[in-house]
């Protein structure tokens, strides 16, 4: 609005005809240094105002899009536009350090509040700031699944960055859940939720009460509420990650940790574990699968594997000898020995000494192979493994 006023335009954007607004947007693009997301942000604003014309797709705004492309090319020539200041995902080790420093967990009011924020941003894919600030107590509930496992579920998603409510079909197809892990109470979403409920004033547990409350006292007396009835401010919510970093003493120089680093951690971790993209978006709340590219990158193991593929490194590659302490051999049962005698060779694996109930079907496939003795480190699918003794070649 300030830019429009500087151009002598007093009308709100949604009240300006497309022909005039197209000119204003073109001049605006040329005047600013940053280009990232400006067109999408303006278009999103106009949709909330029922403008009726999309500046992203409508021919009436072709000039604005052409100016933006020209600006992007100019910035690229200058080596800009590569998001050098983009947030990095926070690591599991960083999070563990925060638990050890008691800035996450259940030992004090601030740590518990931080933990609830972490659950909302990581398990439920909420964006910090407006989404967490608008969250109400009734939006999250405690439930049981068919196997009597407790979990908390994000029932009601309010207006988000990409789900404004204009399209009633644009909703999450699945409601994100955070299951109980009773063996680790400091990280157990269900235990933390129950404790948070008990430490809130009783009259703030109504469905429409704010979810995030201000801390009452850092060292409350027994039986005293940990939180006030007043909601936590949006700036405080934005500052939670910074406070956790300060409390922990973490100040990494090789990465940039921001409030969005947890969201990046969520998407990067699920991507690294091979979770399908269409499942990830159900947790992250991302509208478009292609948007996941903004949150995840190739991890070092994937990059190394790609490099080896392009360098034509064999799947089984001897790097260098290693000497490690050998674990004691597993005890082989009489039934296993009998089965080994049928096969004609000895074996061991993850099912050695296992007790299996039910029918077992075994399919054997004969193959020819050569064997050699060695003690080496092997490179298999991007991982180092040590073998000592018989190394088999590929089947013929």
Which pLDDT tens digits describe the chain residue by residue (396 residues)? 677 878 788 888 888 888 888 888 888 877 765 555 677 788 888 888 888 888 888 888 888 888 888 877 776 666 665 555 678 889 999 999 999 999 999 999 999 999 999 999 999 988 888 889 999 999 999 999 999 999 999 987 654 544 444 445 555 567 889 999 999 999 999 999 999 999 999 999 999 999 999 999 777 788 889 999 999 999 999 999 999 999 999 887 778 898 889 988 888 888 888 888 777 777 766 666 666 666 666 667 767 776 777 777 775 544 444 444 444 554 555 544 554 454 454 545 545 555 555 555 555 554 444 333 333 334 444 444 444 443 444 444
Which residue, among 128, 188, 184, 179, has the nearest Cα to 154 in the 3D structure? Answer: 179
Q: Give all domains of the chain, ordered by start, each with its CATH number.
A: 2-77 (no CATH), 92-297 (1.10.443.10), 318-392 (no CATH)
- Residue 90's contacts (CB-CB under 8 Å, 6 or more residues apart) are 241, 257, 261, 262, 264, 265
- Residue 85's contacts (CB-CB under 8 Å, 6 or more residues apart) are 256
- Residue 36's contacts (CB-CB under 8 Å, 6 or more residues apart) are 81, 83
The span from the CA of 89 to the CA of 265, in Å, is 4
**3-class secondary structure, 148:** coil
Phi, psi of 384 (to 5 degrees): -85, 130
Q: Which two tokens stand for residue 19?
A: 């022909």
Query: Which run of H or E residues covers position 153?
Result: strand 150-154
């Amino acid at each position: 609005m300030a830019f429009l006023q500087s151009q002598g335009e007093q009308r709100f954007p949604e009240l300006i005809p497309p022909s005039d607004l197209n000119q204003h947007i073109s001049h605006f693009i040329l005047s600013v240094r940053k280009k990232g997301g400006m067109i999408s942000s303006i278009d999103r604003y106009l949709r909330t105002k029922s403008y009726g014309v999309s500046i992203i797709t409508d021919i009436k705004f072709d000039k604005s899009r052409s100016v933006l492309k020209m600006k992007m090319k100019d910035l690229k020539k200058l080596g800009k536009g590569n998001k050098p200041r983009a947030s990095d995902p926070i690591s599991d080790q960083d999070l563990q350090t925060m638990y050890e420093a008691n800035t996450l967990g259940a030992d004090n009011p601030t740590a518990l509040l931080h933990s609830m924020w972490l659950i909302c941003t990581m398990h439920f894919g909420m964006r910090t700031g407006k989404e967490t600030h608008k969250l109400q107590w009734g939006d999250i509930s405690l439930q049981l699944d068919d196997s009597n496992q407790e979990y908390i579920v994000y029932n009601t998603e309010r207006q988000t960055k990409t789900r404004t409510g204009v399209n009633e079909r644009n909703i999450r197809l699945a409601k994100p859940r955070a299951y109980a892990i009773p063996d680790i109470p400091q990280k157990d979403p269900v235990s933390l939720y129950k404790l948070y409920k008990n430490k809130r004033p009783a009259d703030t547990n109504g469905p429409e009460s704010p979810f995030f409350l201000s801390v009452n006292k850092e060292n409350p007396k027994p039986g005293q509420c940990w939180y006030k009835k007043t909601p936590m401010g949006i700036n405080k919510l934005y500052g939670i990650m910074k406070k956790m970093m300060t409390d922990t003493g973490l100040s990494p120089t090789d990465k940039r940790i921001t409030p969005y680093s947890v969201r990046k951690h969520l998407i990067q971790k699920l991507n690294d574990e091979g979770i399908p993209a269409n499942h990830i978006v159900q947790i992250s709340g991302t509208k478009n699968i292609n948007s996941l590219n903004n949150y995840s990158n190739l991890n070092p193991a994937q990059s190394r594997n790609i490099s080896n593929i392009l360098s034509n490194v064999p799947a089984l590659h001897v790097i260098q000898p290693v000497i490690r302490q050998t674990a004691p051999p597993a005890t082989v049962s009489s039934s296993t020995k009998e089965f080994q005698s049928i096969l004609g060779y000895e074996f061991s694996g993850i099912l050695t000494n296992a007790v299996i109930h039910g029918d077992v079907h075994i399919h054997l496939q004969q193959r020819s192979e050569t064997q050699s003795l060695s003690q080496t480190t092997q490179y298999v699918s991007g991982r180092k493994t040590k073998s000592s003794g018989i190394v088999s070649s590929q089947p013929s």
